[in-house]
Amino acid sequence: MGEGGLSASEVGKEIAEHLAHHGATADGRHDRIVTIVEAVLLAVVALLAAGSGFLSSKWNTESRVLLAESATARTRSNEAMLTAMELRNFDSSTFEAWFTAYAAGNERAMQIAERRFRPNFRVAFDAWQATDPGSNPDAAPGPTFVPEYVQPDLKRAATLDATADRRFEAGSKAGETADDYVRATVYLATVLFLVGISGHFRVRGARYMLLGIGSAVLIFSVITLATLPGLP
- pLDDT tens-place string over residues 141-153: 899 999 999 999 9
CA distance 66 to 71: 9
232: in domain: no
Single-letter residue type at 176: E
Round to the nearest angstrom and report the end-to-end CA distance of the chain: 18
Residue 26 has pLDDT above 60, yes or no: no
2: in domain: no
Asked if residues 230 and 55 have their Cβ atoms less than 8 Å apart, the reply is: yes
132: in domain: yes
1: in domain: no
105: in domain: yes
Percent of the chain with pLDDT over 90: 63
Report the number of distinct structural domains present in the chain.
Answer: 1
| Average per-residue pLDDT for the chain | 86
Of 27-36, 85-94, 112-121, 207-216, least confident by mean pLDDT is: 27-36
